[in-house]
Amino acid sequence: MASEFIKYNKKTELLAPAGSKESFYAAMSAGADAVYMAAQKFGARAYAGNFTDEEIAECADVAHMYGKKIYLTVNTLVKDKELDDLYRFAESGVCDLCDGLIIQDLGVASFFRENKPNIPIHASTQMSVTGPYAAQLLKQNGFSRIVPAREISFEEIREIYDKTGMEIECFIHGAMCYSYSGQCLFSSILGGRSGNRGRCAQPCRLPYRLSSDKSGEEKYPLSLKDMCTLEILPEIINSGVCSLKVEGRMKPAEYVYGVISIYRKYLDLIESGKEYSIDKKDLETLSKLYVRGNLSHGYYDRHNGKDMVTISSHGYKSDSEDTTDKDNNRFKSPSCIPHIKVNFSAFFKKGQPASLNAFCETEDGRQAYGYSEGEIVMQAQRTAIGREDIIKSLKKLGNTVFSTEDDLITVDIESDIFYSLKGINELRRACLSDLSENLKVKPDNNERFSCKSLQNPETKALPALNDETGMYSILFNMVSQVYVIHKLYDDGELAKICRLYADEALFLDENSSVIDVIKSISIPVFVAMAHIRRKGDDVSPICSLYDEGLIKGFLVRTLEDLSFLRDKYPEAPIITDYNLYTYNSKASEFLDMYSGDHTYPLELSSSECMDLSETRNTEKVVYGRVPLMITANCIRKTLKSCSHKAGFETIIDRKGIAFPVKCDCLHCMNVIYNSVPLMIPADSDNVTCRIELTDEDDNKCRSILRYYNLGTAEPEIPHTTGWLNRPVM
């Protein structure tokens, strides 16, 4: 089967990972169209080898000579105190050598848009883009490409493409995160190593058991199999994907070479228009290349499933008889890449400067010339040089990307002349340097995936929602909790409450009585929108409640909802939640265009929150169970069976620690919560303190609310202070 999408767009990009120079050269040798890599800072694979500025420059030079691209990952969240480092990084010039920057942090994106407007900006998969509204918001703010959440389907990808026309880059092979990327705090809360900062400790690969399983058997329910999409590659491309991305910046060069070689073969087959069929030997080869628990198609053709999970093992397997060359030394230099043939024409005449011309034509049809001129050619006094001496010197191309042969070299030389061998070598080097510069496809001359500078959307900073300080807000997930809140409020014990947040599911459950309760309460009620918004979710009942005045605003957790609601209700009160990260003042300024207030990210320490006190981060969670993971997969479905009834399960780790798992059947996703709630002192200055109630019973609700609002004794609840005094790495 040939791809209809390719017929119109001719070329689809094969994008390879590189965590080292060896991996870069392996990718180039295997036929990658582009390579993504990180500098020593700001990359989401902090434990990969990564690249010095000099190495990035070297790789960019080589890639551009072959008409290939380099994308730089600047995809960690950046703290306010690190913005000076970011500025120095931008001014170093290394970013200007690249064809695009892959970014998670909205503040970082704003920074580069302002200071380096000619560099294309790509939205990292860490942004959890799941639909066209989020993509459109990013497009309006200068993003040229998105890497959507790995969980979305063919249909969802196609909708983004059809409605926005944006470039879409999707993962096609490699390791899979259990959580929506960017929505995982598991490593951060357990060990202070943040996945949002490139230092994930991968607790998802550890064993867990279901509390209701009487056998006590430990399994690996959070460890997804690696993705392999060779069998569905045409369908992915037909969805509107322009760039096929392989995961693996932590993996060796042999992996990069093996995987890219095979995908190159089949991408070429698709683009040839010939019948698409898979050689089983190629699937076998891929299954031996650092694979975790066999392979799956990922989420492209399913929402979730037990067969996506390793369950019985977390570890990689690799066949010792793998046919791939395991000697990374073969990828040490450009010599491993198919060489570019060079024609030389040398001119040596007495009394005239020696000169050398070079010409090459690449496989993609580009032509380039090089020229150099040396010293005056002299009459030989003792030893003359001849044609063979010059040819021998011109063939010394070493570890360059070029090669030549005798029949590609012409030498116009007089007899009885002298020119030093050192001079000939210098002539060759200068000529090849000129040829190289003329051969490079500069980042700003790229026509295949052009980035047009866009104007800022016509929005303005919205006013803050609270004029008073020292206020409280309460988020509740159960109807029983709002009854407790109602009673305490009527008794005058919640005088400082400024608003309530009701979980979206409570309004969409036809059996819920929450609407009747909020009609009788005088506290403004906002809807806490879903943690993830997917195609097919019906939010029209929520909109109707706002239209009727029953709810006063929205707590927004996704870019999809933020864009949709701001477009539908330009003046509606909107507060962005902590997972729309405002790690720095630039990110806060960005979200000012769309929301009245923001929430401090949970990963920031007390002192780091103080650094942002002058910005619009005006709400802070002081109590609540921290969502460690938001996942499309389902613990219940994996370890038991799907009951289609919302509720809680509990998983227990190897140390006996229990983690509640909310099975959200309305949105078909799980929320894995921390074992104990966060509980920190309330900061009454310039901040609204939020109390989040998850599964607390009536008595716990009362004691928690009274503690924060009346200053009663601290509840005797096992808890954590989270990141209060320990900044994440």
Q: Provide the CATH number for the domain around residue 70.
A: 3.20.20.70
Residues 510 and 397 in one domain: no
Q: Please state the pTM of the whole predicted model.
A: 0.92
Residues 432 and 479 in one domain: no
CB 104 within 8 A of CB 182: yes
User: What gap in Å lies between CA 180 and CA 700, rounded to an integer?
Assistant: 31
Residues 16 and 155 in one domain: yes
Residues 251 and 144 in one domain: yes
User: What gap in Å lies between CA 247 and CA 259, rounded to an integer?
Assistant: 10
Least Cα distance to 557 among 523, 533, 540, 536 occurs for: 533
Tally the domains of the chain.
3
**Number of other residues whose CB lies within 10 A of the CB of residue 546:** 19
Domain-located, residue 219: no
Taking the CA atoms of the chain, what radius of gyration do you get in angstroms? 30
**Residue 266's Cα: distance from chain center in Å?**
25
Which DSSP letter does residue 328 get?
G
**Number of other residues whose CB lies within 10 A of the CB of residue 720:** 16
User: What gap in Å lies between CA 650 and CA 661, rounded to an integer?
Assistant: 6
**Number of other residues whose CB lies within 10 A of the CB of residue 673:** 20
Q: Provide the CATH number for the domain around residue 388.
A: 3.30.390
Least Cα distance to 395 among 364, 428, 421 occurs for: 428
At residue 644's C-alpha, the angle toward residues 640 and 645, to 5°, is 95
Would you state the structure tokens that stand for residue 270, as one six-digit string? 């698709």
Would you state the structure tokens that stand for residue 322, as one six-digit string? 């793998």
Domain-located, residue 84: yes
Tokens 């870069």 belong to residue: 24
Res 644: pLDDT: 85
Domain-located, residue 517: yes
User: What gap in Å lies between CA 598 and CA 591, rounded to an integer?
Assistant: 8
Which DSSP letter does residue 396 get?
-
107: enclosing H helix or E strand: helix 106-115
CB 596 within 8 A of CB 463: yes
Tokens 């010792």 belong to residue: 320
Residues 271 and 413 in one domain: no
- pLDDT single digits (tens) 174-202: 999 999 999 999 999 988 888 898 889 89
Q: How far apart are the two ends of the chain, measured CA to CA in Å?
A: 48
Residue 662's DSSP bridge partners are 648, 671
Residues 277 and 392 in one domain: no
- Helix 83-91, helix 106-115: angle, nearest 10: 40
Tell me which long-range contacts 288-291 makes (C-beta under 8 A, separation of at least 24): 288/317, 288/318, 288/319, 288/322, 288/324, 289/254, 289/255, 289/258, 289/259, 289/318, 289/322, 289/324, 290/248, 290/251, 290/252, 290/255, 290/316, 290/318, 291/225, 291/226, 291/316, 291/317, 291/318
Which DSSP letter does residue 562 get?
H
**Ramachandran quadrant class, 50 (left: phi over 0; alpha: psi -120 to 50; beta: rest):** left
Res 728: pLDDT: 79
Would you state the structure tokens that stand for residue 275, as one six-digit string? 């019948």
Parent domain of 696: 472-625+677-710
User: What gap in Å lies between CA 676 and CA 678, rounded to an integer?
Assistant: 7
User: What gap in Å lies between CA 710 and CA 693, rounded to an integer?
Assistant: 17
Q: How many CA atoms lie within 13 A of 95 on its CB side?
A: 28
Least Cα distance to 136 among 536, 566, 601 occurs for: 566
**Number of other residues whose CB lies within 10 A of the CB of residue 284:** 12
Residues 439 and 516 in one domain: no
Counting DSSP H helices and E strands in the chain, the numbers are 22, 35
Least Cα distance to 568 among 277, 242, 133, 183 occurs for: 133
Least Cα distance to 702 among 469, 474, 524, 528 occurs for: 474
Residues 271 and 342 in one domain: no
Residue 31's DSSP bridge partners are none
Q: Which stretches does DSSP call E strand in 665-706? A: 669-673, 678-679, 688-692
Domain-located, residue 245: yes
- Rounded to 5 degrees, what are φ and ψ at 314? -110, -15
475: enclosing H helix or E strand: strand 472-476
Would you state the structure tokens that stand for residue 687, as one six-digit string? 């901040």
Res 198: pLDDT: 86
Residue 652's DSSP bridge partners are 209, 658
Would you state the structure tokens that stand for residue 592, as one six-digit string? 């000012």
Domain-located, residue 551: yes
User: Concatenated DSSP letters for 368-423?
Assistant: EEEEEEEEEBEE-SSPPB-HHHHHHHHT--TTSSEE--GGGEEEEE-SSEE--HHH
Rounded to the nearest 5 percent, the helix, strand and coil shares of the chain are 35, 25, 45
Res 461: pLDDT: 60
Domain-located, residue 649: no
Domain-located, residue 192: no
Domain-located, residue 185: no
- Which segments of the chain have a pLDDT < 70? 1-10, 44-48, 292-293, 314-328, 444-464, 466-470, 615-617, 684-685
Res 178: pLDDT: 95
- Rounded to 5 degrees, what are φ and ψ at 216? 70, 15
Residues 48 and 153 in one domain: yes
Residues 38 and 162 in one domain: yes
Would you state the structure tokens that stand for residue 657, as one six-digit string? 């620690």
User: What gap in Å lies between CA 182 and CA 630, rounded to an integer?
Assistant: 9
Least Cα distance to 62 among 16, 10, 24, 119 occurs for: 24
- Rounded to 5 degrees, what are φ and ψ at 432? -65, -35
Residues 55 and 172 in one domain: yes
Would you state the structure tokens that stand for residue 320, as one six-digit string? 């010792």
Residues 343 and 413 in one domain: yes
